[in-house]
Structure 1
């Protein structure tokens, strides 16, 4: 029985650690919307948008975005995918080195949480542990627009994520 309780407690830690990360990083945060992103029909990640009090997305206010991965991906996959999306949604940015510091390989069930800090910074947490801050002029709009902008890969995904 004791062993069963220990196993159950271990399984619950990542979820509670992530919930406390969101609450401590963005006080008053509540879930606004959630959606699953699929690539060629295969689920890639579940995304959740957190805003203060669950309010509609306001690009002038800080907000958080959590991705829970549904498959294993390498750091290279994450960096290259982000670089491609930044280029597709606007001009390429000189961020490869920073992204390589922020991203690591992910396994199914891993989570990244990104929190905007004004217009020019985004803090990243990997499975509840703070890993880096991405800094670049207007990075909030450029990076978060990959998921929440007008030119995303899936309009229905973006609407659900925004809670619309």
Structure 2
């Protein structure tokens, strides 16, 4: 895999994290869920893993209705996957189409979630058209597709 694109997530001007998109080949903006790809977030500040998990679930719900029982299961999985982070820490998600997602913390496997729907919705936080950050999506997918 190689780095195809990079962007920054800012909130009221404060840098929250740098995000990088990794894949073997160009990423198709329409069919990214069917591609092996990774998103790496390098945090610029300390954040609670529990808060990262809660915000992730909120963002996943922008794309699809998630029932309360499913939401609780997924929240528990994310809370187990995401530790508290400090500046310089990295959390990466590796999308495996049809299988699920592997989460790495500072390069070490932290948790595997064998649920392709979860994987699609989680990666969709940044890559789906329903993202709350369309400019960031465009930076990631526009660069990754060679400007397409």
**Which is higher, the Rg of structure 1 or of structure 2?**
1
Q: Does 1:144 align with 2:123?
A: yes
Size of the alignment, in residue pairs?
A: 135
Which of 114, 131, 136 is residue 93 of structure 2 equivalent to? 114
Alignment of 1:97-108 (within 5 A): 97-108=76-87
Residue in structure 1 matched with residue 17 of structure 2 by the alignment = 45
Gap regions ≥5 residues in structure 1:
1-28
User: Is this contact kept in 1: 2:47–2:85, CA < 8 A?
Assistant: yes
Could you list the structure 1 runs, at least 4 aligned residues long, displaced by more than 3 angstroms after superposition. none
Cα deviation 1:22-41 (Å, max 9, x = unaligned):
xxxxxxx1111110011222
Which of 53, 56, 65 is residue 27 of structure 2 equivalent to? 56
Q: Cα RMSD (Å) of the superposition?
A: 1.5
Cα deviation 1:109-131 (Å, max 9, x = unaligned):
10011101223410011001111
| Helix, strand or coil at the partner of 2:113 | strand
Shift of 1:43: 1.3
Scaled by the length of structure 1, what TM-score is found?
0.76
User: Is this contact kept in 2: 1:119–1:141, CA < 8 A?
Assistant: no
User: Is this contact kept in 2: 1:52–1:63, CA < 8 A?
Assistant: yes
Shift of 1:143: 0.7
User: Is this contact kept in 1: 2:62–2:131, CA < 8 A?
Assistant: no
Shift of 1:137: 4.1
Residue in structure 1 matched with residue 46 of structure 2 by the alignment = 72
Q: Does 1:85 align with 2:59?
A: yes
Cα deviation 1:56-92 (Å, max 9, x = unaligned):
2433121111000011001121111111111223223
